[in-house]
Amino acid sequence: MGLGVGLLLIAASVPQMMDARDSRTAARTAVQPAFGKQLPVSATSLVTAPADTDYRTRTVGGEILRPDGADPALPPGLDRAPGAGEMYVSPALADLLASPEGRLLKERLHHRTVGLIGDAGLLDPGELRFYAGSSTLTTDTGGVRVDGYGTRGDADPMAPVLILVVVLACVVLLVPVTVFIATAVRFGGEQRDRRLAALRLVGADARTTRWIAAGEALFGAVLGLAVGAGVFAVVRRIAGSVRVWDLSAFPADVVPVPLLGALILLAVPVVSVVVTLLAMRAVTVEPLGVVRRSAPRRGRLWWRLLMLPAGLAVLLATGTVGDGSEVVEPWPVAAGTLLVLFSLTALLPWLVDAVVRRLGRGPVAWHLAVRRLQLGSASATRAVGGITVAVAGAIALQMVFAAVHDDFNRATGEDSERAQLTVSAEFPSGELAGEMIARFRATEGVRGVIGTVEAYVVSPEPVAEEDIRPTTLLTVGDCPTLRELARIRSCADGDTFVVHSARDEPPGDWIDRTARKGKQVNLNSDTPFDGSAPMLWTLPQRSPTVMARPDPVGEEHTGILATPGAVDVSALPGAWTTALVRIDESVPDAKEFVRNTAARIDAPVRVRTIHKIERDRQYESVRTGLLAAATATMGLIAASMAVAQIEQLRDRRRLLAVLVAFGTGRATLAWSVLLQTAVLVVLGTAMAVGAGVALGATMLRMIGKPVTHWGSYLPVAGMGAGLILVVTLLSLPVLVRLMRPGGLRTE
C-alpha cells in the first residue's frame, strides 16, 4: 500500500512540476524587441545568440553573451556575465566535460569554465547547458540585442486530440494503482480472520469483529499513508539524480497539488475500510474457526455486465473531438473510461468462477490448480486484476496512438540519404563563408559537402515608386554543388546559369526580370534601402536556363547559379552560407567532428540534423511523459503481483507441507502453481483484449478515426501475460521453501 500511495503522491505532483518547468523556461527567456526594431545600446543591454548543440543522443542548450555596458541584464543562475573566452556551465555539463565520455564535447566548448549555473537557471538538475562570453558577437553576425530576461508568452494550445489522449492516459495509469491499493488491503486476510475467530472465542460478537476488522484496516491504511509519504520523500530527494526517459526534476518542484494530496489522504483510509467490510460479508467468523470452505455464492451478473456498456455510452455521448478549437470536457471522458476499466475488476472474478466450474480431467497438477480455483479464486483473481486493467488501458492507448501518429508526424521532404547535417550561418563576409565550406570538406568523417554562398541581388533598372524592385537569389558554388541544385548537363569554373522552379506552371517572370542575360545585376541588395553604392555585375549572355533540383532539405535554389570563377564571393555584401554535409556512417562520431568544426568558426553557426520525419513537440512531450509514467506503473504492478503471489503461497503453507508429506512431488506442486496462473492469464488477457479494443474503438470514433491497426494489441497483451508468468516463475523458490516439513506445525 505504501508503494501505491507513494506513486499517487508523485502523480499528484506532476502539475506542479510542469508549472515549475514552465516558470523556469520563462525566467531565462530573453525579452525580445518588437519585430523590425532594435534596442539602443545601454548599460544593461547585451547581445545574445543561441548556441544549442547536440552531443550524441543528448541536446546541450547554450547561449552566447556579449555585454554592451558594465551592468548587463543576466539570465537566472549567473552572478556575472562571462567574459570573452569564458563560460558558465551546468553541474551536469561540468561532470560530462570532466569525463572521458565528454572528450569531443570539450573540444567544441573550448572556453574556460569560470563557474556553475545556479538552480534558478536550469530546468532540471541533469540539464546540459552553458553560457559563453564573446567579444565579436554583433547584431550583424546573428546576435540580438536585449535588455532583460523573464517573459511568459502565450503557450500554444494543446490539440483536442492530445487532450483526449492525456485524459485517457491519466485514467489508464492511475486505475491499476487504485486496484493495487484495494488489493493490498486484503493481504494477510486469512490470518486476520483467524485472529478474529480467537476474539469470538473470548466473547466478542459478530458486529464487534467487523468493527475490529475495520479498525485494523484503518490502522493499516494510516500506516500505508506514512510509508507512502516516506517513499514519496525518498523519491523526491533523488528526483534530480534519476532520469526516466530523459526526464527529471528539482526536489523543490516535486510538491503534490494540495487538493489532490488531501484527496489521497482521505480516499485511501475510506477505500481500505469499505473493502474490508465488503470482504467480511463473504466470511462467517465463528469462535471455533472461519467458515469459508463451502462453495462461495456466485455474485450477480447483471450489474457487472452493465458497467462496460454504460462506460462506452458515456464516452459516445461526449461527442466527436476534431482537430479544431473545440473544448474537450475531460470529466465525461474520465468517467466513461473509469467505468470500462472497473468493469474488468467486477467481471473477472465472475468469469474465473464460471470457467473453472466446468474444468475437468487432467494430470494431478491440473487437478490441484483447478480445485484451488474452484474452492476460492478471489485472492488469485485479485493478484492479476491490476495487470488486466493495465493491459486493457494500454491496448486502448496503443490504438489511439497508432491512429493519430501520422497527424503529429510531418514529412519534411528532406533526403537524409544525400546529406545528414545542415550547417547555416550569416556572415557579412563572403570570404569567411567560403572558408567555412573549405573547413567542413577537410573534416574527418565527411564524404561530401554541398556548400553554397548566397545573397540577394536586385535589378538596377529604375522602377516606379509604388512598384517592388525585381529581386532574386544568387547562389555560388562549385560544379559538383551546382549539379545537386539544378539539372545541369555540363559545367566548368566560370559558368553561370539561370534557374527556374520545376514546380511553377507556367514559370513566373520575376526571375527573368532580374536575371537578364547580357545585362547588369546589382549585387548589393541594400542599395534601394540605404543608398549605398551599387555593385554591378553582368550576367553572361551565354548563361543557359535550367530547371531547379531540390536540395537534400527539399528547397529549390532558383534565380542565378554561379561558380566561384564567375563571381568573387569575397566581394558579396550580406552573404550567408549553407553547407549540407554528407558523412561516412562508418566513422564513429562523424557528426561530432562536424559540430566541432562549426564551433571553431568565430561566428554563430547552426548545425541541424536532417530528418525525413518531424514529430510534433507537444506530441513528443506527451509521449515521453506517458513512457515515464508507464514505467513507474508497470514497476508497481509487478511488485504488487509478487507480493500477492507470495501471500497466496504463505496462506497455503500448511496445505503444501501436508501434500508433500503424503508423497506429492515438488515438481507437481510447482506445475500446479504455473497452471493456475496460466488459467488466470488466459482469462484475464481475453477480457483485457476485448475491453481494450472496445475502449480503443470508441475513442477512435470520438476523434473521427477508423480502426486500422487491429493487431496493435498483440504486443501489449503479450507483455502483460509475460509479466504475470515471470512473476510466477520468480515465486517458485518461495514455494519450495514453504513445502518443508516445518509447515506442518500449527497452534
In DSSP notation, 157-172 reads PPPHHHHHHHHHHHHH
Short-list 304, 285, 293, CA closest to 376: 293
CB atoms within 10 A of CB 531: 7
Q: Which of 611, 632, 648 is the last residue of a domain?
A: 611
Which range, of 66-70, 305-309, 592-596, 646-650, averages the lowest pLDDT? 646-650
State which of 83-92, 331-340, 712-721 shows the largest mean pLDDT: 83-92
Could you tell me where the DSSP H helices lie in 151-205?
Answer: 160-185, 189-201
Q: Which domain holds residue 534?
A: 421-611
| Confidence (pLDDT) at 582 | 92
CA distance 88 to 80: 10
Distance of CA 516 to the CA centre of its chain: 53
Q: Which residue has the higher pLDDT, 560 or 654?
A: 560
Q: Is residue 25 part of a domain?
A: no
Which range, of 209-213, 287-291, 409-413, 715-719, averages the lowest pLDDT? 287-291
pTM listed for this prediction = 0.74
Are 221 and 247 in a shared domain?
A: yes
| Confidence (pLDDT) at 482 | 93
Average pLDDT over residues 364-391: 76
Decide if pLDDT at 135 tops 80.
Answer: yes
Are 194 and 250 in a shared domain?
A: yes
Q: Is residue 11 part of a domain?
A: no
> What single letter denotes the amino acid at residue 380?
A
Are 305 and 375 in a shared domain?
A: yes
SS3 376: coil
CA distance 650 to 634: 24
Short-list 425, 576, 455, CA closest to 525: 455
Q: Is residue 8 part of a domain?
A: no
Q: Are strands 471-476 and 559-562 parallel, antiparallel or unpaired?
A: parallel
Would you place residue 359 in the very low, low, confident or very high pLDDT band (cuts 50, 70, 90)?
confident
Would you place residue 39 in the very low, low, confident or very high pLDDT band (cuts 50, 70, 90)?
confident
Total domains, the chain: 3
**DSSP code of residue 535:** -
C-alpha dihedral (484, 487, 492, 494), degrees to nearest 10? -90
| Confidence (pLDDT) at 704 | 81
State which of 33-37, 182-186, 685-689 shows the largest mean pLDDT: 685-689
**What region, left, alpha or beta, does residue 14 occupy, with left being phi > 0 and alpha being psi -120 to 50 degrees?**
alpha
Are 325 and 178 in a shared domain?
A: yes
**C-alpha separations of 460 from 97, 519, 533 in Å:** 53, 10, 11
Are 589 and 659 in a shared domain?
A: no
Q: What is the pLDDT of residues 428-451, one digit of tens each?
A: 556 666 778 888 889 999 998 888
Decide if pLDDT at 89 tops 90.
Answer: yes
Decide if pLDDT at 521 tops 80.
Answer: yes
**C-alpha separations of 6 from 184, 330, 520 in Å:** 14, 25, 75
Average pLDDT over residues 618-643: 69
Q: Which residue has the higher pLDDT, 505 or 663?
A: 663
Sequence-distant (≥ 6) Cβ neighbours of residue 313 within 8 angstroms = 336
Q: Which of 576, 611, 646 is the last residue of a domain?
A: 611
Are 665 and 734 in a shared domain?
A: yes
Would you place residue 293 in the very low, low, confident or very high pLDDT band (cuts 50, 70, 90)?
very low
Short-list 618, 177, 713, CA closest to 397: 713
Q: Which of 99, 120, 146 is the last residue of a domain?
A: 146
Decide if pLDDT at 703 tops 60.
Answer: yes
Are 578 and 669 in a shared domain?
A: no
Q: Which residue has the higher pLDDT, 228 or 321?
A: 228
213 grid coordinates:
476488522
- The residues pairing with 609 across neighbouring beta strands, listed in sequence order, are 421
Decide if pLDDT at 115 tops 90.
Answer: yes
| Confidence (pLDDT) at 201 | 65
Decide if pLDDT at 484 tops 50.
Answer: yes
Q: Is residue 1 part of a domain?
A: no
| Confidence (pLDDT) at 326 | 58
Q: Is residue 209 part of a domain?
A: yes
Would you place residue 549 in the very low, low, confident or very high pLDDT band (cuts 50, 70, 90)?
very high
- 113 contacts 156 by C-beta, under 8 angstroms: no
**Residue 130, H or E segment:** strand 129-133
**What region, left, alpha or beta, does residue 327 occupy, with left being phi > 0 and alpha being psi -120 to 50 degrees?**
beta
Q: Is residue 2 part of a domain?
A: no
**What region, left, alpha or beta, does residue 518 occupy, with left being phi > 0 and alpha being psi -120 to 50 degrees?**
left
Are 384 and 440 in a shared domain?
A: no
- The residues pairing with 743 across neighbouring beta strands, listed in sequence order, are none
Decide if pLDDT at 481 tops 60.
Answer: yes
723 grid coordinates:
509479466
> Could you identify the residue written with the cell 496503443?
398
- The residues pairing with 115 across neighbouring beta strands, listed in sequence order, are 88
| Confidence (pLDDT) at 591 | 92
Average pLDDT over residues 718-730: 76
Would you place residue 294 in the very low, low, confident or very high pLDDT band (cuts 50, 70, 90)?
very low
| Confidence (pLDDT) at 155 | 57
Are 293 and 339 in a shared domain?
A: yes
Q: Is residue 3 part of a domain?
A: no
Q: Is residue 516 part of a domain?
A: yes
Are 196 and 287 in a shared domain?
A: yes
The residue count for the chain: 747
**What region, left, alpha or beta, does residue 727 occupy, with left being phi > 0 and alpha being psi -120 to 50 degrees?**
alpha
| Confidence (pLDDT) at 322 | 60
Q: What is the pLDDT of residues 600-620, one digit of tens each?
A: 876 678 888 888 877 666 667
**DSSP code of residue 525:** T
Are 501 and 550 in a shared domain?
A: yes
Would you place residue 593 in the very low, low, confident or very high pLDDT band (cuts 50, 70, 90)?
very high
Short-list 62, 48, 50, CA closest to 110: 62
- 618 contacts 159 by C-beta, under 8 angstroms: yes
Mean pLDDT of the chain: 81
What's the alpha-carbon Rg for the chain, to the nearest Å? 35
Short-list 76, 62, 147, 148, CA closest to 117: 76
CA distance 494 to 562: 7
Decide if pLDDT at 655 tops 80.
Answer: no
| Confidence (pLDDT) at 1 | 74
- 657 contacts 741 by C-beta, under 8 angstroms: yes
Are 533 and 431 in a shared domain?
A: yes
Q: Which residue has the higher pLDDT, 135 or 152?
A: 135
